[in-house]
A = this chain, B = another copy of it.
Amino acid sequence: MSTTHRSHTAGPRQQPQRASAPPGGPLALDRAAQDLLFRAARTANAFTDEPVGDEQVAAIHDLVRYAPTAYNGQPLRLLLVRSPGARDRLLPHLSSGNRAKTARAPLVVLAAADLDFHERLPELYPHRPQARDWLADPASRAAQARFNAALQIGFLLVGVRAAGLAAGPMAGFDAAGVTREFFPDGRHEALLVINVGRPGPQAWGERLPRLRTEEVIREI
Contact = CB atoms under 8 A, between A and B. Distances in A.
Interface of A: 1-2, 4-6, 8-9, 12, 15, 17-21, 25-30, 32-41, 43, 48, 50, 53, 55-68, 70, 72, 74, 76-83, 86, 120, 123-126, 143-144, 146-148, 150-159, 162-164, 167, 169, 171, 182, 191, 198-211, 213, 216-220
Nearest to A65: B210
A74 B40 contact: no
Contacts of A220: 79-83, 86, 182
Main DSSP-derived SS at the A contact region: mixed
Given A124-B209, A147-B146, A213-B62, A68 B28 contact: no
A57 B218 CA distance: 11
A199 B7 CA distance: 10
A200 B124 contact: no
A37 B48 contact: no
Interface centre among A28, A120, A157 (most CB of B within 10 A): A28
A29 B78 CA distance: 22
A74 B150 contact: no
A7 to B, nearest CB: 10
